Each structure stands twice: as structure tokens, then as C-alpha cells.
Amino acid sequence: MSVASQTPQERSGLWHALTELYHVFNTNKTSWVGLIIFLIIAVLALLAPWIAPHDPLEQNIVDALQPPSDTYWLGTDSFGRDVWSRILWGGRISLFVSVMSIGIAMVVGGALGIVAGYKGGRIDQVIMRCMDVLLSFPTLVMGLLVVAVLGANLTNLIIAIALTVIPKFARIARAPTVAVKEQDYIEACRALGYSDARIMFVHILPNVVGEVLVLASLWTATAVRIEAYLSFIGLGVKPPTPTWGGMIRQGFEYILDAPWMCIYTGLAVLILVFSLNLLGDGLRDAIDPKLRNE
Amino acid sequence: MLRYTLKRLGSTLPTLIAVLTVIFVIIRIAPGDPAIAILGDNASQQAIDALRERLGLNEPLLEQYWYFLSDALTGNLGNSLVSGRSVLHEVLEVLPHTLDLTVAAIVIGVILGIPVGILAAVYRNGPVDYVARIGSLLGLSFPSFYTAILLILAFAIHFPWFPVISNANLSDPGDRLYNLVLPALSLGLIMVAYVARTTRASMIEALGADYIRTARAKGAPAFVIVARHGFRNAIIPIITIIGLYLGLLIGNSVIIEIVFNRPGLGKLIVGALEQRDYTMLQGLMVIYAFFIVLTNLVTDLAYGMSDPRVKYQ
């Protein structure tokens, strides 16, 4: 749709959602802290090719299992590879998998939820029952099964995580849709002859965005962990590509001689997950009317 | 209560069938032939045909689905392709280990999480609340393998109080408990965080209600207000969260079992994945499905017992 054909309300709808989001950020300062930590990690991971002091794949057997030093800030692994450089590169995989999978889940799940809520009736029943069934699997077990069946690689990892999270987004998007669809301005849209798609994704969507974004940041945190777990089990991206889960698994085998491999890589996972949880938790408190007056 | 229970029981079977259907679909949509996946690319055509016959893969899909459902519902999970033993038998053998772990984690979560949550709610916005909130957020951010590794480093290596490898002798209760401490703590600390957060939120809501003001006005002691009037009404979301996160615990127990090299469903599943034990994998998924449906059922029934309003809905 071109900008010219947009009605003023349509543009202000999205604008309103964005200003609301900024306001929400300011209501709860912890979400700023979370966002800043997350951005720092993201920038470090993105700049890995330029700022990593060593090649993450370069083996140097002479320097194997070195403790942290000036040359190797966080020590080396059993192949003499620099742990800090591998953490930076591993962060790229972690962030890519989690952001992609949650992005897909957000779009697909959000759309399903809006359609279910807006259409109601049998369509609603079918979509939501399917979601309930998917929801009943533990995320990790479902992820394990899907990767095991489809094969372990980057794409399947993303699909597996997205599949387990889609139902959560569908549920969260459905509730506000049901509440909003009876309002006068939606009725007015119908009277003007707007298509269902236009009503759903232009007029209802801004009402759903807030809660979906909160859920997205919280579930990105979970996705980071699931990716790490699957790599830890050996179902993630294959070595020698550095992944945090894979590095922890390898480090665990040398826990007596070289605990730094586990400790620092685990710390990286923890900080990333914590920052996303801070972000999501702060946003949730800020948009929850029950907690707003705290 | 009886009608509610019966109604809830009645809806269990359709849910179970739906969950089993998802498993069937996921396992059968795998690209390529499961027989080739199991035997490898170099297997002879004869061997592949024989395995296909044995796994029933030559039957029409609908018939396979029917056999899968009826077998699953009657507890016939087939034999492991690797050990040749019954899947159910192998599962039952390690199940006590996994149950020990999850039950202990819930107990730790409840014993530590509920008091922390109540304290945070009662002293809301004070230093206790602040520490509890940040602490619990940090707690639920911990990847379970990291908690496990840090506990091993501290209490199995630096202070060699507990074993690194947790392989308990089930017939010796002392040994069983001793081997359970670190794995249960690794899993339980995550649960503490979830339970504390839910308890806090739920208590804040309960303590803000009018009947609490009434109780205060009539001079009820603070402890009675918090325990009887507040907590009693706050308990439903707490039960829900425990039920809801049982799935999370089952998932995380896979990781904990690997880190501590502990027998259990998780190790069985990873072994089945590595050895391409198709029937074992399918059987384990069915077991997980039963678990989940059962947990949801128990959670819902627990509502009914703790809140008389539930049965009228």
C-alpha cells in the first residue's frame, strides 16, 4: 500500500504505537539497562571479524589450555584457540538464531492470533486448539525432536525454535484482538468497506504490538538458551564453528584443568539472557496496568 | 468437585490423542527414509526393506497412524532398535532418577521461592523486594548447565563434598539423596526464581484487595492477614506456575542429566538421538506426552481443591 492511500488514522496508529513504546521505556528504567547491555553485546558480536584478537578457528597446539593472560584474555581451549575470540564469534550464531527464530515466530504467531481473534468461530477454534497442543510440549523437548528429525543445521535450528514459540505469540496476540474488534472504529472501517486484511493488519495490529514486543524480548532470552542447550547436546551448528553451547560442552571435558572455558562462555550466555530478561521484564511492568502505579 | 473432576478427566483423552498426533506428524515428516537414516547410506537394499517391514513403514499412512495411536494408548512402545529391549522397560528403569530430580527441584523451588516471594510482596519496593526481584530475574536467566557447572566447580571440585558424576544406587536412600543434592540444586534454583516471582506478583494483588483492608481494620494480626487472608488467595497462580514450569523442568532435566552423567529420560533421549534409535525416540516422545497431559490434569485438579470458586465455572 502506498503512503498516499493511507488514511491519517492509519499513519497515526503506528506512530502512536511507537511513541507509546518510548513512553513505556521511560516508565521503567530497568528496561533501558537491559536494552543497553543487549546492544553492547550485539555490537561486539557484529564487530567480531574486526575486533576479535585472534582467528576463532586457528589452532595452536603449543598454546593449548592456557589460562587467561595478556595474549589470550580469557585463555585458550584444548586446540589452543582463543576463547575470547570464539565467544565473540559464537555470539553471532547465538544472536542470529535467536533473533531470526523469534522474528519468524512473532510474525507467524502474531498473524495467527490476530486472525483467530478477529474471525472468531470455527477458525478461532481450530487455530487455538492447534496452538494449545503445540504449547503442551516443553520447548527444549520439542526443539530436540524437530532438530533430530530434520537434521542439525542453522536453518533447522531456527525452524525448531520458532515452532515451539509460535503458539505463545498466537495466544498473546489473540486476546487484545478480541477486545478491540467490537470497538466503534473497527465497525466504522467495516462500514467503509475495508478488507479484513486491512482492518486486521493496519487497524488492529497497533493494539497488539506492545504485548507482542514484550513477549519477543523475553522469548529471545529463552531462544538464546535453547540454542545453547541444543549445541551443548550436539544438535546445533556443527564444530569447528564456534557456538556458545558447543564451547561449554568442550570446556566441560576439561573442567579440572581449564575451567575458564566453561566459566567465561557460560557467563556470556548468562549476560545476554539476563539483559533480554531485564528488557522484557521492565517493558512488561510498564505496560501492565496493574503494576503501572508502582 | 466430583463433576469438575469428571469433566476434566473427560477432556484428557482428546488432548492426549492430539498431542500424539503431533508426534506422529513430526516423526513422519522427516525428509528421507527413516530406514536409511537409521542404517546409514551404505546399507544394502535388502536390509533397508527388512527394516521398513519391521517398522511398519510399508503400510498406508493412515494405517500407520492407527497402529501408532492404539499402541501408544495401550502402552506398547515397541523395542529399542539398539538394545532390542522393550522401550517401556528401559524407560521405567531410569524413570525414578528423573522423577527424583524433578520432584526435588519443585520441593526446593517451593520451600525457598514462596517465602522469598511473600517477603518481597510484604516489604514491597523496599530493599528486600529489590534484592528479591533482581535476584530472581538473574536466577531465571541462568542457563541450567551453567548453574550445574558452577556448582560442580564449587562443591565437587574445590570442596570435594559431592560427586561430580551422579549415579545413585536406587536401593540405598542415603546414596540416592547424596547423589541428588547438586543436580537438584542446579534445577531447583531456577524453580526458586520462578516461584518467587509468581508468589510476589500474586501476593501483591491479594494484599491490595478490599478484604485485606477489612481484616486490618478489625485488627487481625499481621501474620494472620498475610498467611490466611493473603496467601490463601494468592495460591492459585503459584500452583499454575509450578504446573506450567514442570515442562520447563523436564526439558532442563535433560541438560542436568547430561552434565552430571546421571541416568534418566534425558540421557536416554540423547543416546537415542546419537544412535538413531527411532523406536526409542518415538517411545520417549509418547512418554513425555503422557507426562505433560498428566501434569496439566493434576494442575487443574489442584485448582479445584485449593479454590472453591473453580468448580462453578
- Tell me whether residue A269 is in a domain: yes
Q: Does the domain spanning B93-257 belong to CATH 1.10.3720.10?
A: yes
> In the prediction, which pLDDT does B43 show?
77
Question: Tell me, what amino acid is at A233?
Answer: I
CA angle A222, A136, B245 (to 5 degrees): 55
The pLDDT value recorded for residue A1 is 41
- Is A228 within a domain? yes
Task: Parse chain B into domains and list their residue ranges.
Answer: 93-257
Helices (H), B208-277: 210-217, 222-224, 232-259, 265-274
**What is the C-alpha separation between A102 and A223, in angstroms, rounded?**
7
Residue among A44, A76, A71, A74 nearest A57 (CA): A76
Partner A contacted by B146 (CB < 8 A): yes
From chain A, the residues in CB contact with B293 under 8 A are 136
Separation of alpha carbons A97 and A269, rounded Å: 14
Contact A270 B269 (CB under 8 A): no
Whole-number Å distance between alpha carbons of B148 and A229: 13
pLDDT value, residue A166: 93
CATH of the domain at A267: 1.10.3720.10
Residue A158's domain comprises 24-57+73-291
Percent pLDDT > 70 in chain B is 95
Tell me, yes or no, whether A4 lies in a domain: no
| Chain A residues whose C-beta sits inside 8 Å of any chain B C-beta | 129, 132-134, 136-141, 144-146, 148-151, 221, 225, 228-229, 232-235, 248, 252, 255-256, 259, 262-263, 266-267, 269-270, 273-274, 277-278, 281, 290, 294
Tell me if A16 is assigned to some domain: no
User: Would you state the cell numbers that stand for residue B295, as one nine-digit string?
Assistant: 501434569
User: What's chain B's Rg over C-alpha atoms?
Assistant: 24
Chain segment B126-179, per-residue pLDDT in tens:
899 989 988 999 998 999 899 999 999 999 888 989 888 877 777 888 888 888
- What is the model's pLDDT at position B31? 61
B195, B238 contact by CB (below 8 A)? yes
Give residue B1's pLDDT. Answer: 67
Angle at A268 between CA A266 and CA A270, to 5 degrees: 70
Collect all residues of chain B within an 8 Å Cβ-Cβ radius of residue A289: none
CB contact under 8 A, B157 and A256: yes
Our count of domains for chain A comes to 1
Substitution target from B133, B157, B273, B291 for chain A, most A beta carbons within 10 A = B273
* Binary contact (A269, B274; C-beta < 8 A): no
- For chain A, which residues score pLDDT lower than 70? 1-14, 17, 288-294
Q: Which residues of B touch A257 (CB under 8 A)?
A: none
In whole angstroms, what is the distance from residue B202 CA to residue B196 CA? 10
Interface test mutation site (partner B, options A37, A171, A233, A243, max chain B beta carbons within 10 A): A233
A13 in a domain, yes or no? no
Task: Report pLDDT for A3.
Answer: 43
